[in-house]
Chain A
Amino acid sequence: MGTTVAAWRHVALAMILTGSTSAASAQSSDGSFMSARRFMQRDGEVIYRTVCQSCHMVAAQGAVGAGAYPALANDPKLAVAGYSVLVVVNGSKDMPPFGALLDDEQVAAVVNYVRSHFGNSYPDTVSSADVRSARP
């Protein structure tokens, strides 16, 4: 707090609305750091590594402070694929919604990746169509 975040949001919003793509795009090969507006990564693992890992950590072990970021490793809550999709698209409590930052295919890719890694091995997958129907 005590920052210029609040006022900056107006500017960020302007950048977002006009779809600013960073001049740095040539420097990234995995799709990260390319856009101030949306995530451009396509691969499920890359999306986890460059986005989700920012809170859920490298081994999906979560993090504990005054509160906690939940672990996604060995997570029984991932058993129902539709639940994972809903949380990514709409957010949940502290977690912001990612529905406007990721398209249907990206959400499906990252949900399928997490549900089949980190000690999770759910055999079913979600499709872009499943994600589309989960959007509000």
Chain B
Amino acid sequence: MGRARCQLAYKAGELSSDRRGYERDPGGGLSGEAVPSEPLPFAEILRSRVWYRLALGQIYDFQSTIFQPVGGMDMIARAFVREVDGLIRYNAKVTAIKQDESHVSVTYVDARTGSAPATVSADWCLCTIPLSVLDQIDLDVGAPMMNAINAVPYGAAAKIGLQFKRRFWEEDEQIYGGITYTDLPIWQIGYPNTSYASPSRAVLLGAYVFDSPFAYEFTALPPEDRLKRAIEYGAQIHPQYKTDYENGIAVGWHRVPWVLGCFGRWTEEARKQHYENLCAIDGRIALAGEHVSNIPAWQEGAVLSSLDAISRLHRRVVAS
């Protein structure tokens, strides 16, 4: 895009290139004469639907500065783990959650070995198991909460990481971090926002699709074919994919064994009918997680839902 002249003629020249860039950039001395670039036909700009992409950064969630944890989003969870070290029992696949008037008991097996079931009990249970899994567990709650658990389907998503032997997006294209949006089935290419200009290999987010036919279609492919497709599509934007690709990984989010979905897909109707019942403390059991929040799919929703549930549990305990 670029600026139109005051007569509203949108054509090649300094004024339009000042926005959209030059055919040859202005430089120094005798070799530095700028060559303006040719604007795209107006119809082509409209057809590209550039406005949707331009508007993304104006969405409320993105208006404030968002920081990225060093090492990735997983570091948030790992930081919590560090604070409660020794209290977590890993690979415990819960098979039943039962309650009576004074206790909650949880039965589990070792997810790796399928060991004989073990049971632990406590006064209260704050359960953060995703509804996609919880709806398959032998669970002792009343009909309102059970209906709510069964009312929320989970979204499909696929995410692909591609490793390249050099940072061609920086070296060749002067792209340092950020995202390229596209209507190709990969939807976006995310560039690393760290270690700029380091002369080593690096990983791109090569595709991120969700809640769309593409999420199912990518996941239906064997992992190596998902990569092949992502490379094929991405190479239409960055031909360097063809020469610099080293390795990759493709994850079908709804096939991650402990979550079976990307996030709880609430509809307005389902929320009206079931959300309060999902949040309510049922006897000695309460739920938390992004699915028990008004910010689905965000870690913030999960954290806020747990604080809310713990506060309500605390009041209940103190009052009793």
Chain A: residues with Cβ within 8 Å of the partner, total of 50
| Residues from 240 to 295 in B contacting A, C-beta threshold 8 Å | 252, 254-263, 265, 290, 295
Separation of A1 and B233 alpha carbons in the complex (Å): 26
| Size range of the chain B interface in the assembly | 35 or more
Can you add 6 more A-B contacts, CB < 8 Å, to A54-B252, A67-B260?
A: A5-B298, A7-B61, A11-B52, A36-B213, A49-B220, A95-B153
If A1-B263, A33-B214 touch, does A65 touch B153 (CB 8 Å cutoff)? no
Separation of A119 and B215 alpha carbons in the complex (Å): 28
| A12: chain B residues within 8 A (beta carbon) | 210-212
Q: Could you tell me if A93 and B153 are in contact, using CB atoms closer than 8 angstroms?
A: yes
Contact of B262 among A5, A22, A23, A69 (CB under 8 A): A5
Q: Could you tell me if B156 and A24 are in contact, using CB atoms closer than 8 angstroms?
A: no
**When each residue 39-79 of chain B gets 1 if its CB lies under 8 Å from chain A and 0 otherwise, what string results?**
00000000001001101100111100000000001101000
**Chain B residues close to A by CB (< 8 Å):** 49, 52-53, 55-56, 59-62, 73-74, 76, 93-94, 111, 129, 131-133, 135-137, 150, 153-157, 182-185, 187, 210-217, 219-220, 229, 232-233, 236, 252, 254-263, 265, 290, 295-299, 301-302
Listed from nearest, the 3 A-B pairs whose CB atoms lie closest are A65-B257, A2-B73, A2-B299
Q: Say yes or no: is A125 at the interface (Cβ < 8 Å to chain B).
A: no
15 contacts between A and B (CB under 8 A): A1-B290, A2-B73, A2-B299, A3-B298, A6-B297, A8-B210, A22-B184, A23-B236, A32-B217, A35-B213, A36-B212, A36-B213, A63-B255, A91-B153, A96-B153
Q: Could you tell me if B155 and A14 are in contact, using CB atoms closer than 8 angstroms?
A: no
Q: Closest approach, in angstroms, between the C-beta of A35 and any C-beta of chain B? A: 6
If A3-B298, A36-B212, A51-B220 touch, does A15 touch B183 (CB 8 Å cutoff)? yes
Q: Could you tell me if A67 and B265 are in contact, using CB atoms closer than 8 angstroms?
A: no
With both beta carbons as reference points, the residue of chain A lying nearest to B219 in the complex is identified as: A54
Contact of B296 among A6, A18, A36 (CB under 8 A): A6
Separation of A8 and B211 alpha carbons in the complex (Å): 10
With both beta carbons as reference points, the residue of chain A lying nearest to B133 in the complex is identified as: A67
Separation of A72 and B84 alpha carbons in the complex (Å): 42
Q: Could you tell me if B136 and A54 are in contact, using CB atoms closer than 8 angstroms?
A: no
Q: Closest approach, in angstroms, between the C-beta of B34 and any C-beta of chain A? A: 31
Q: Could you tell me if A5 and B216 are in contact, using CB atoms closer than 8 angstroms?
A: no
Q: Closest approach, in angstroms, between the C-beta of A38 and any C-beta of chain B? A: 7
Q: Could you tell me if A37 and B131 are in contact, using CB atoms closer than 8 angstroms?
A: no
| A51: chain B residues within 8 A (beta carbon) | 213, 216-217, 220
| A65: chain B residues within 8 A (beta carbon) | 133, 255-258, 260
Q: Say yes or no: is A94 at the interface (Cβ < 8 Å to chain B).
A: yes
With both beta carbons as reference points, the residue of chain A lying nearest to B256 in the complex is identified as: A65
Q: Closest approach, in angstroms, between the C-beta of A74 and any C-beta of chain B? A: 20
